Amino acid sequence: MTTTLTIEIDKELAQLLEKSSLKAGKTQKEWVLDALKRQLAFEKCKTLQSELRPYGKAHGWESDEDVFREIS
């Protein structure tokens, strides 16, 4: 099942999208969908990080560096 989303972008952004999609060898639709998926994944990671931060602090991890050091 798909849903159609229509957006308006200014001329400068349209030109940047065209150049970037050509450079990537993708259609503009593919480029926008990939960018949207990346942004949604990033937002999900930020949400999970916020939700899990209290558990990490309870185990003595005060910063992202503490977590990276522990798992590396």
Question: End-to-end distance of the chain based on CA atoms, in angstroms?
Answer: 41
For residue 36, the tally of other CB atoms under 10 A from its CB is: 11
- SS3 sequence of 15-63: HHHHHHHHHHCCCHHHHHHHHHHHHHHHHHHHHHHHHHHHHHHHCCCCC
pLDDT at 28 over 90: yes
How is residue 53 written in tokens? 């931060």
Mean pLDDT of the residues in the chain: 93
Q: Where are the domains of the chain?
A: 24-71
Give the model confidence (pLDDT) of 58-71 as tens digits. Answer: 988 888 888 888 88
How far is it, in rounded angstroms, from Cα 43 to Cα 68? 20
